[in-house]
Amino acid sequence: MTSKLRLILTWNIRPGREQEYSMFVNDRLAPGVVELGLPPHDVYYTAYGNVPQIMVVLDIPDIAALPGILNSRQWQELKRELFQYIEDYEERVVKVDGDGGVF
């Protein structure tokens, strides 16, 4: 069984910023994470419940490169822009097994 690492990002969209948020995600965030080498694996939107509204799961193809990516000017700029539209941001790295289960 092989294991992989993924970067999980969660947040809530600020009320009244949904349209601007959507434009930012499509125009800047999605292409930006791919350019940085963190291809999206899954994106979830929660419509109901007491959990984060958005969860983005990014593949980490090269764990050795991750610190450089997360400390890069490009990543910091993307997050700075994202924070204009969201609140309750969290990020974490998780290990998943070959079947997609987190451990």
CB 65 within 8 A of CB 72: no
4-96 is a CATH 3.30.70.100 domain: yes
* Residue 55 scores a pLDDT above 60: yes
Q: Supply the pTM of this predicted model.
A: 0.88
Decide which of 74 and 2 is more confident.
74
Strand order through the sheet with 54-59? 40-45, 54-59, 4-13, 86-96
* Residue 70 scores a pLDDT above 70: yes
* Residue 102 scores a pLDDT above 60: no
Pull the structure tokens for residue 58: 């990014």
